[in-house]
Amino acid sequence: MAFANINNLYPKPSTGAGATVILGQGITAPASGTTTAFTTAFNAYSNLCFVDIQSADVIVTFDNQTPVAGTTGHRLYAGTNYTWSTAAAKDAKFVAATTSSSFIYLTEFQV
């Protein structure tokens, strides 16, 4: 049985090949029901992402399904944050859970 203790990880912000700027990106999940995803290329060295839901609740899926409030996906509440694998962040698709659009920000980390 494999065991992973993530409490001993000390991630640092990813900075890209020789860059000194921390890699992050923001997206807006529109209230119109149109889905959105992170589109900026991820750093090859990133393995964790810190995701912050800032202005309104969103629905997210990771399996290429279209998120739909009340039927398909996970509800993420405004004011919460999550640590995801880079793979999960790449696969995430968002839609606003209500009639208010939401801003979502992501910062990449490497272990």
Task: Give me the domain span that covers residue 75.
Answer: 16-110
Can you spell out the DSSP letters for 51-66?
EEE-SS-EEEESSSPP
The answer to whether position 71 is within a domain reads yes
CATH code, domain carrying 29: 2.60.120.10
Look at the chain and report how many structural domains it folds into: 1
Query: For residue range 12-57, what is the model confidence (pLDDT) as tens digits?
Result: 777 766 555 567 899 999 887 789 999 888 888 888 999 999 999 9
Query: What are the distances in angstroms from CA 53 to CA 12, 44, 48, 50, 95?
Result: 21, 24, 16, 10, 12
Tell me the sheet residues that pair with 81. Answer: 52
The answer to whether position 9 is within a domain reads no
The answer to whether position 32 is within a domain reads yes
Query: What are the distances in angstroms from CA 25 to CA 5, 37, 93?
Result: 28, 11, 15
pTM for the predicted model, two decimal places? 0.82
